[in-house]
């Protein structure tokens, strides 16, 4: 199924986890994918895997918490592929598990820069390029903790902020042909959960009706749906991929 044939997709946090899974799936479905992330070796590994399967991909090392790096990623995508039709703003960190009143301003700022400000930079530079291509769609990856408080104040606050950013962009650019939606992953098998597998399994056993941790491929399929024309009347929405965690 080549539903993204002729389309170009930029994905942040694409070196591992959900971002990598999305890049591989979208390439399989015909998209040219630009992979953005801090770890160049991880990006190159993903590009090699995509190319070996006959796909088209570009590695763009950069720090999404720096607006100039995000702008450069969009510029290089346009230089290499000639257009930008879709974007997945996925990069993020887990936050600092320091108690709220003990958290330093530096700890707070680091998480906000990566988990929220980077999505503002992405939208700021992606939307003009998508408009120039005639329209498209954006998926902002937040978390189930955009809907509830979490163990980390910085992380949960940033994810709540993504909701407002997504809705505002959806309102401002919907009539111009750009849809913007939010995807909320639950407990997914990524490097974050692999660092604490016992904790992830405990949450799965006690708080997830499906009784298991999700996979990157399951998240990638939801991202592909929201980007695609199958979701043509979905704009400013939020979709949880969480096994029923929020239920």
Domain ranges of the chain: 8-237
Quote the mean pLDDT of the chain. 95
pLDDT at 1: 61
Could you give the residue numbers annotated as active site? 155
Average of per-residue pLDDT across 80-96? 94
Closest to 20 in 3D by CA, of 181, 188, 169: 188
d(C-alpha 19, C-alpha 223), whole Å: 10
Q: Can you say how many angstroms the Cα of residue 106 is from the centroid of all Cα atoms in its chain?
A: 24
Span 141-168, pLDDT tens digits: 999 999 998 778 999 999 999 999 999 9
Lowest-confidence segment of 6-20, 107-121, 189-203 by average pLDDT = 189-203
pTM: 0.95
Confidence of residue 246 (pLDDT cuts 50, 70, 90): very high
Average of per-residue pLDDT across 180-202? 85
pLDDT at 60: 98
Q: Dihedral of CA 110/16/7/237: which sign? A: negative
pLDDT at 98: 85
Span 192-213, pLDDT tens digits: 777 777 877 888 889 999 999 9
Of the candidate CATH numbers 3.40.718.10, 3.40.50.720, 1.10.760.10, 3.20.20.80, the domain formed by 8-237 belongs to 3.40.50.720
């Amino acid at each position: 199924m080549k539903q993204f044939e002729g389309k170009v997709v930029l994905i942040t946090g694409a070196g591992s986890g959900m971002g990598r899974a999305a890049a591989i799936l979208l390439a399989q479905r015909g998209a040219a994918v630009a992979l953005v992330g801090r770890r160049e070796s991880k990006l190159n590994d993903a590009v090699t895997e995509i190319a070996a399967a006959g796909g088209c991909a570009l590695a763009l090392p950069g720090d999404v918490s720096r607006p100039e790096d995000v702008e450069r990623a969009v510029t290089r995508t346009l230089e290499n592929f000639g257009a930008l039709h879709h974007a997945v703003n996925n990069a993020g960190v887990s936050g600092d598990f320091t108690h709220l009143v003990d958290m330093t301003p530096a700890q707070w700022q680091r998480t906000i820069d990566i988990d929220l400000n980077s999505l503002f930079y992405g939208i700021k530079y992606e939307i003009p390029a998508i408009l120039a291509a005639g329209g498209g769609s954006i998926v902002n990856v937040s978390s189930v903790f955009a809907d509830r408080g979490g163990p980390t104040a910085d992380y949960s606050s940033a994810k709540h902020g993504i909701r407002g950013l997504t809705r505002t962009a959806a309102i401002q650019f919907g009539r111009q042909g750009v849809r913007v939606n939010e995807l909320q992953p639950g407990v997914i098998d990524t490097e974050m959960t692999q660092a604490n597998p016992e904790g992830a399994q405990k949450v799965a056993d006690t708080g997830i009706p499906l009784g298991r941790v999700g996979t990157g491929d399951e998240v990638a399929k939801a991202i592909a749906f929201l980007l695609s024309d199958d979701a043509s009347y979905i704009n400013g929405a939020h979709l949880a991929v969480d096994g029923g965690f929020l239920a």
